[in-house]
């Protein structure tokens, strides 16, 4: 179709059309992901790089998979999460790792002794990464040790995004990302690219785990939970 001397290209994306005006260099219809993709640039498709980026239906997502939850009593638990990428694209001439699954983790711990005095009350926050080498599957373990003769709760929440190495650089060679006890390679400050659109339109994934318990006065109740 020719319109005022400009060629309009049409791409079908989940029953919606994305029109590109080559003369003005912009898309005339919004990205189907809308604000989930980016707040400031709603009129883009595949990061405006249709040669190297492929998103067949406009809805590439980080998918939460099966998880296994184990109750260790008195607040202790183990849970194994799995995550997959639907159709991640590898840019030409890339070498692994191709990208990174980056997780923002918030951990709240509130524990009281049986006499009512605080035993442990703290809040932790960090960013943790796992390199993607093309196997399309990530695993994440969340756990907490049991705390006898106490009552309280613990909640660990994660927000998961996938970023290409083009955005983050090679985090495996970045000295700021280091392994610590109970965590994978992590940093506590917000990465400068965290609020950028995630790679190739990957949407955000979430997971929550924790436990509440009361192991006082001959009671031994414990309720771990995990979602998804």
pLDDT above 60: residue 55: no
Q: What value does the mean pLDDT of the chain take?
A: 78
What integer pLDDT is reported at residue 210 of this predicted model?
95
**Both tokens of residue 164?**
């290409």
Q: Could you give the CA distance from residue 44 to residue 21 in angstroms, rounded to a whole number?
A: 12
Q: Do residues 177 and 100 touch, judged by C-beta distance below 8 A?
A: no
Q: Please give the pLDDT value at position 122.
A: 97
pLDDT for the residue 3: 38
d(CA 131, CA 172): 8
pLDDT in tens, 65-114: 667 899 999 999 999 888 877 666 677 788 888 888 899 999 999 999 99
Instruction: Give me the pLDDT at residue 38, please.
Output: 45
3-state secondary structure of 34: helix
Q: CA 188, CA 7: separation in Å to the nearest integer?
A: 48
Do 144 and 211 contact (CB within 8 A), yes or no? yes
pLDDT in tens, 67-81: 789 999 999 999 988
Instruction: Report how far residue 79's alpha carbon sits from residue 66's, in angstroms, rounded to the nearest whole number.
Output: 10
In angstroms and rounded to an integer, the radius of gyration of the C-alpha atoms of the chain is: 22
Six-digit token string for 138: 């990530």
Separation between Cα atoms, residue 222 and residue 226, nearest integer Å: 14
More confident residue, 143 or 23: 143
CA distance 132 to 51: 22
pLDDT recorded at residue 108:
97
- pTM exceeds 0.75 for this model: no
The answer to whether 216 and 151 have CB atoms below 8 angstroms apart is yes
The residue ranking higher by pLDDT, 98 or 134, is 98
Report the percent of the chain where pLDDT is more than 90. Answer: 40
Give the pLDDT confidence score for residue 8 in this predicted structure: 41
Q: What is the dihedral of CA 69, 72, 73, 77, to 10 degrees?
A: -50
C-alpha 162, offset from chain centre: 6
Q: What is the largest CA-CA distance in the chain?
A: 82
pLDDT (average), residues 7-18:
43
Output the pLDDT for position 2: 37
């Amino acid at each position: 179709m020719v319109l005022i001397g400009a060629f309009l290209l049409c791409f079908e994306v989940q029953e919606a059309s994305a029109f590109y005006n080559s003369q003005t260099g912009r898309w005339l219809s919004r990205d189907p992901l809308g604000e989930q993709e980016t707040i400031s640039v709603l009129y883009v498709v595949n990061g405006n790089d249709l040669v190297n980026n492929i998103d067949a239906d406009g809805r590439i997502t980080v998918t939460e998979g099966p998880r296994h939850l184990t109750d260790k009593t008195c607040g202790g638990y183990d849970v194994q999460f799995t995550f997959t990428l639907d159709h991640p694209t590898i840019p030409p001439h890339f070498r692994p790792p191709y990208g990174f699954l980056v997780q923002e983790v918030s951990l709240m711990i509130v524990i009281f002794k049986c006499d009512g005095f605080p035993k442990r009350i703290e809040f932790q926050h960090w960013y943790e990464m796992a390199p993607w080498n093309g196997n399309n599957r990530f695993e994440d373990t969340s756990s907490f040790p049991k705390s006898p003769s106490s009552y309280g709760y613990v909640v660990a929440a994660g927000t998961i995004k996938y970023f290409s190495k083009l955005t983050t650089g090679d985090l495996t060679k970045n000295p700021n990302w280091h392994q610590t006890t109970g965590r994978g390679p992590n940093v506590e400050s917000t990465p400068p690219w965290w609020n950028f659109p995630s790679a190739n339109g990957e949407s955000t994934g979430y997971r929550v785990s924790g436990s509440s318990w009361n192991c006082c006065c001959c009671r031994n109740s414990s309720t771990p939970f995990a979602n998804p």
